[in-house]
Amino acid sequence: MTELNYSRLISILTNPPKVSYPVILPDFFLDHFVLVPKFEELIEDLGKLARQGGGNLMGSEQFIRRGGNCVNTASALFALGLDSKMIVTTDEYGASLLKALAPHGLDLNHIHTDGQLSSTVSIETEFEGRKVNLMVSDSGSATDFKFSDLTSSDIQLINDSGLVALVNLNHNKYGAELAHDLFKMVKESTQAITFMDIGDPSSNSALIKPLLKNAISSGIVDVLGLNENEVGWLAWALTGHEKWLDIVNKPEEWIKGAMLISRETGVRIILHTQYFATSILRDDIVSVPAFQIDSKVVCGSGDAWNAGLIYGLLLDLNQIDQLVLANTVAALYISSHDSSPPSRNDVIHCLKSKPTLSSIGKKLLME
C-alpha cells in the first residue's frame, strides 16, 4: 500500500477556509459511563450479587458526560472550530444539564424543552479481545421527534446551513418519516449537503425497510455513514439474505456489503470501522487504514468520526483527505483520558507525527 501523504490536509487545516455551519439533530442523552476490564468478569460478579439477593458492585471507574449522537457530533465539530448548530428535544432538567455539560460557546438556542430527558448507561468493557460499549438506554424524547416538531426558527436555521446531519434514528419510531420530510425540504429549499447516520438498528429493525424506501433510495440523502453492523442490517433488508446479519466478525464482507447498498440505493456510503474507512459510490471505492490506537473509551467514537467527516465534506476535501481527517478525529477522541474531542491544532499535530496505521486494516485493504 502506498504511504499516505498528509501534507495537503495539514496545509488546509493550518489555514482553513470559512465554511457554512452544519446543523445536527435531533437527540441529547445524559451518558453515564461505567468502565470495567472484562465482560465475563462483570457478568460473573453481577450473578453473585443477584444470587445473594442484591448488593453493591464496587471498584469500577465511572463518569457522567453529555451524550447523544447529535450533541456529541456538534460538540466535536465545535472543538474543531466550527460554529456547529444542533436541534434537540429534552425537558427543562435536561436543558439545564446540557447547559452545564456542553462546552462554553456551543449554540444552545434550538433546545426544545417540551419533551423528556433521554439517558444511557454505557458499559465500556472488553469482549473476546475487542473493546466494546454496551448501552442501556431510556430513549426519552428520542423516540418521537417528528418533522412537525421543528419551529420556524429551526427551519430557518436549516435553510441557511451548509450541511444537515440526521443521526440516531434507531431510537425514533418516526425515523423514516422524519428523514423523508426533512431531507425533502432541504433538497427543495437549499444547496446543503444531507448526511445520515442511523445508529444501531438491532432494537428497531422495523425502521430499516421504510427508511430505505422513503429516504435512502429516494435521492435525498447525499452521504450515508455506516459501521459494519449497520452495513449488515441494510444489506439484509435489501436482499433478504440472513448471511448479512452475521458479518460483524467477518471483515472481508464489510466492503462487499457497503458496495451492495450503494449500488442498490445510489447513495455514497462511508463505511467506518476500527480497522479502516471506505468511501463507496457504486463501483468507485476509496479506502484508508485506521490508526493503531490504544483506546481508552469507545462510546462516542462514531460521533467523533462523523464530525471529522462532516468537516471534510464542508471543506470539500478529496475523498482520501476526508477519511484521514475523520480517522484522526476519532483516534484522538478514543485515546483521550477524558473522552474529549480534539481541536484542529490537535489534529494537525497528530498528522505531523505520522501515526502508525492499523496493520490489520492495511492487510484487509490489500486482500
- pLDDT tens for 220-261 read 999 999 999 999 999 999 999 999 999 988 999 999 999 999
Cα–Cα distances in angstroms (integers) from residue 290 to residues 164, 212, 272, 299, in the given order: 26, 28, 9, 17
Answer yes or no: is 218 within a domain.
Answer: yes
Answer yes or no: is 346 within a domain.
Answer: yes
- Residue 298 pLDDT grade (very low, low, confident, very high; cuts 50, 70, 90): low
Answer yes or no: is 53 within a domain.
Answer: no
Answer yes or no: is 42 within a domain.
Answer: no
Number of residues assigned to the chain: 367
Instruction: Output the CA angle 231-236-238, nearest 5 degrees.
Output: 95
Considering only CA atoms, which of 253, 291, 287 is closest in space to residue 270? 287
Is the pLDDT at 282 greater than 90? The verdict is no
Q: Which amino acid is at 231?
A: V
Answer yes or no: is 217 within a domain.
Answer: yes
* Residue-level pLDDT at 305: 96
What mean pLDDT is predicted for residues 319-345? 92
Answer yes or no: is 134 within a domain.
Answer: no
Question: Which triple of cell numbers denotes residue 104?
Answer: 462554553
- pLDDT tens for 97-153 read 999 999 999 999 999 999 999 999 989 899 988 888 898 999 899 999 999 999 999
Answer yes or no: is 36 within a domain.
Answer: no
- Residue 2 pLDDT grade (very low, low, confident, very high; cuts 50, 70, 90): low
Number of domains in the chain: 1
Q: Which amino acid is at 161?
A: S
- pLDDT tens for 27-86 read 999 999 898 989 999 999 999 999 999 999 998 889 888 989 999 999 999 999 999 999
Assess contact for 335 and 300: CB atoms under 8 A: no
Question: Which triple of cell numbers denotes residue 19?
Answer: 465554511
Answer yes or no: is 280 within a domain.
Answer: yes
- Enclosing domain of residue 151: 7-31+65-119+140-366
Tell me the CATH number at 146: 3.40.1190.20
